[in-house]
């Protein structure tokens, strides 16, 4: 178990900069996620940690050891691939013990470690089966056992659940999370699935176009995004355009809907700056009577209502034609119907004020 440090790491493919001067510090025993849309550089970064790619610039360190130019087989990492990469002509046991046989581990020790690895992933009854006799979830567990059996310092996982159906993905998420807590290994996990990262990670780095946009816990990134890209990529967000009119304990923004008060994502906002007021759908509620003093209020027409059992989703068209998404949890009766004019309230504490960066929001994948 070691820490992993990336120091100004850069990787190019011809003229394309896939990873651009990325620096990260991942602690011993941390379950760290690399999250971002397709093509953002997260898998390239993982492959540099594994040693499959050599960076053009920067360093990769495991603890105090510089492994930038160390080959993959000398880094003591275990890799779990998206496509499992199991040998079809070998049994489950042979697949799992393959890495140990390449390291010339004696038979007695090999059997003991293979049994322990299969036991960890609850696959001991399937040791004699071939991979094509297993379900997708079972194959994934075998791939994980193969990574664990060599007793790596770091386990690397490249979108390991993307080939599974939704229900099985949820089951495997919990199993991997339980396993990480049990063994305490440093794990680095690549995904484009926001919910997967929110549900499983200790911390995560969100990437876009080869850069790290923001690093933090799931709660920090969801509640305090520092850019339009991040606010829009993780979860759903409503963005209301305006101009900063006052900066103080709360920042005030003049919009076509009136003044909206909130908290700035970053220091340095000044009067006259073009900004967006970002508020999550669950941060809005329908006004019943007078709103609490100091709350923001807006008015609009209900365009659509969708009942999903545990939640009811509304799309409200505001006076300036901005669509606003609202979520009501555990709905008993609808708050409004299509065509109704409604009033919404939201606390300034729910509003994050973001600098206007132009049209840089990510397409959710």
> By 3-state DSSP, what share of the chain in percent is helix, strand and coil, each rounded to 5?
25, 35, 40
Of 146, 143, 33, the C-alpha closest to 81 is 143
CATH architecture of 4-223: 3-Layer(aba) Sandwich (3.40)
Neighbours of 13 (CB within 10 A): 10
pLDDT at 362 over 90: no
Cα radius of gyration (the chain) = 24
Residues near 250 by Cβ (< 8 Å), separated by ≥ 6?
261, 262, 263, 348
CATH architecture of 236-355: Beta Barrel (2.40)
Q: Is the C-alpha dihedral spanning 283, 288, 291, 292 positive or negative?
A: negative
pTM: 0.88
pLDDT in tens, 332-341: 889 999 999 9
CA distance 73 to 86: 18
Secondary structure E strands in 88-193: 154-158, 186-191
Strand, coil or helix: 336: coil
Q: Do domains 4-223 and 236-355 have the same CATH topology?
A: no
pLDDT at 11 over 90: yes
pLDDT at 361 over 70: no
Neighbours of 262 (CB within 10 A): 24
Of 37, 40, 26, the C-alpha closest to 77 is 26
pLDDT at 327: 96
Of 58, 70, 55, 44, the C-alpha closest to 156 is 44
pLDDT in tens, 135-174: 988 998 999 999 999 999 999 999 988 888 888 888 889 9
Q: Which of 124-133, 288-297, 308-317 has the lowest mean pLDDT?
A: 288-297
Domain ranges of the chain: 4-223, 236-355
pLDDT at 295 over 80: yes
pLDDT in tens, 234-251: 989 999 999 999 998 899
pLDDT in tens, 191-235: 999 999 999 999 999 999 999 999 999 999 999 999 999 999 998
What is residue 361's DSSP assignment?
P
CA distance 278 to 264: 10
pLDDT at 358: 52
pLDDT at 92: 95
pLDDT in tens, 109-122: 999 999 999 998 98
């Amino acid at each position: 178990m070691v820490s992993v440090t990336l120091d100004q790491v850069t990787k190019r493919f011809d003229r394309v900069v896939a990873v651009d001067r990325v620096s990260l510090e991942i602690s011993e025993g941390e379950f760290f996620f690399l999250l971002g849309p397709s093509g953002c550089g997260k898998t390239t970064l993982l492959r540099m940690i594994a040693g499959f790619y050599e960076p053009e610039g920067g360093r990769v360190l495991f603890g105090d050891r510089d492994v930038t130019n160390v080959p993959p087989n000398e880094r003591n990492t275990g890799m779990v691939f998206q496509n499992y990469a199991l040998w079809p002509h070998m049994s489950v046991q042979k697949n799992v013990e393959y890495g140990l046989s390449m390291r010339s581990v004696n038979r007695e020790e090999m059997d003991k470690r293979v049994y322990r690895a299969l036991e960890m992933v609850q696959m001991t009854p399937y040791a004699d089966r071939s991979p094509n006799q297993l379900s997708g979830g079972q194959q994934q567990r075998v791939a994980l056992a193969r990574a664990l059996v060599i007793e790596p310092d770091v386990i690397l996982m490249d979108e390991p659940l993307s080939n599974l159906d939704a229900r099985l993905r949820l089951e495997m998420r919990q199993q991997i999370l339980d396993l990480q807590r049990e063994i305490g290994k440093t794990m680095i996990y690549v995904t484009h699935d926001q919910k997967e990262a929110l549900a499983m990670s200790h911390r995560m780095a969100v990437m876009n176009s080869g850069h790290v946009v923001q690093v933090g816990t799931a709660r920090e990134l969801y509640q305090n995004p520092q850019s339009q890209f991040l606010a829009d990529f993780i979860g759903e967000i409503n963005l209301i355009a305006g101009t900063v009119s006052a900066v103080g304990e709360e920042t005030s923004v003049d919009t076509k809907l009136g003044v909206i008060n909130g908290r700035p994502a970053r220091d340095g906002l000044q009067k006259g700056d073009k900004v967006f007021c970002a508020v999550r759908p669950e941060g809005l509620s329908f006004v019943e009577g007078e709103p609490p003093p100091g709350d923001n209020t807006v008015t609009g027409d209900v365009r659509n209502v969708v009942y999903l059992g545990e939640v009811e989703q509304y799309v409200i068209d505001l006076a300036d034609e901005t669509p606003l998404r609202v979520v009501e949890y555990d709905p008993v009766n609808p708050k409004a119907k299509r065509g109704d004019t409604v009033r919404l309230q939201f606390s300034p504490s729910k509003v994050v004020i973001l600098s206007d960066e132009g049209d840089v929001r990510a397409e959710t994948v």
